[in-house]
Amino acid sequence: MTNNDELHQELPKDHPDPLISFFHKIIQYAVKVLAGLMVLVIIWGIGDVLFVLYQRLMAPPFMLLDINDIFYVFGTFMAVLIAIEIFINIRLYLGSNTFPVKLVVATALMAISRKVIVLDIEKLSYEYVFAIGVTILALGVTYWLLTLKQPGKIGV
């Protein structure tokens, strides 16, 4: 096992135990079903973005968006982009049988970024804002560490 992909292989295609191999195939089919469902969620999300944008533009004042409307629309856009990232995670998992840790952390960063974009700071406690900041910092450091590509070190 000298190949880096082999070291992280989650569902090897050839397992010596036939029962485990069978279970791996079932899990791979389940992941394919999840990928199909995620495509439906993405399509539904695009419809939601269009509907929200239409609603906000048709409400008085006609064809104008205030800052709250813009942030709400940004939030719906980000939700669809996060769904696309999750689909990419699933696709990579299916294609390589490895868990794309770096992409998962990047997706988490995108999700917490969406949260920050739609936050209403005036209605939140300082503890909540602090917790989000710590989460962003932890994910950022984790992503940075994952990008280090030194043999025998942390990089993936």
- Separation CA 105–CA 4 (nearest Å): 19
- What percentage of residues in the chain have a pLDDT greater than 90? 29
The larger pLDDT score, comparing residue 68 to residue 137, is at 137
For the chain, what is the mean pLDDT?
83
- Residue 92's pLDDT band, with cuts at 50, 70 and 90, is confident
Q: How far apart are CA 118 and CA 79, in angstroms?
A: 11
The predicted model gives 74-96 an average pLDDT of 85
Q: In Å, what is the CA distance from 98 to each residue of 94, 103, 132?
A: 8, 12, 29
Length of the chain measured in residues? 156
153 or 60, which is more confident? 60
- Looking at the predicted structure, is the pLDDT value of residue 10 above 80? no
Segment 30-66, tens digit of pLDDT: 888 999 999 999 999 999 989 989 998 998 888 888 8
pLDDT score recorded for residue 12: 66
Residues above pLDDT 70, as percent of the chain: 85
The answer to whether the predicted template modeling score (pTM) of the entire model surpasses 0.75 is no
Going by pLDDT thresholds of 50, 70 and 90, the confidence category of residue 151 is: low
Q: How confident is the model at residue 116 (pLDDT cuts 50, 70, 90)?
A: confident
Determine the distance from the C-alpha atom of residue 127 to the mean position of all C-alpha atoms in its chain, rounded to a whole number: 25
Q: Please give the pLDDT value at position 150.
A: 53
